[in-house]
Amino acid sequence: MSGPDEGFFERVYAVVRRIPRGRVATYGQIAALVGVTRGARAVGWALGGIGPRKAKLPWHRVVGARGRISLDGRASGLVQRKRLRAEGVRFVGGRVDMLRHGLLPKGRSRG
């Protein structure tokens, strides 16, 4: 059960699945949550391989540092932004307002 056999990808997906609606997390935060302090890039790479899971995973709640949409400029980026806005996520200067929607106390406060 507590299978450390679970791959890195699965762990990442598990964390992403836990991100509440209307909230977002950065690649770096997710990496830290799965136990890899500087695996932000690896997380992004993992999300790139979600494939069919895409329909069951809130991948749109994952953004770059400072609330940047890494997928910006691509079709998926547009979808991500649209979904986030649909969840009530506020954008400031083209980026997600992390102080308001950040998952971790990196910028969450004064609700």
Partner DNA sequence: TCCCTGACTGGTT
Partner DNA sequence: AAACCAGCCAGGG
What sign does the CA torsion over 22, 63, 69, 59 have?
A: negative
Q: Which of 43, 47, 23, 20 is nearest to 96 (CA)?
A: 23
26 binds DNA (CB under 7 A): yes
Instruction: Reduce the DSSP state of residue 84 to 3 states and report it.
Output: helix
56 binds DNA (CB under 7 A): no
Q: Which of 1, 2, 37, 55 binds DNA (CB under 7 A)?
A: 37
Query: What residues make contact with DNA under the rule CB under 7 A?
Result: 7-9, 26-28, 36-45, 47-48, 50, 54, 59-60, 62, 64-66, 68, 70-71, 76, 80
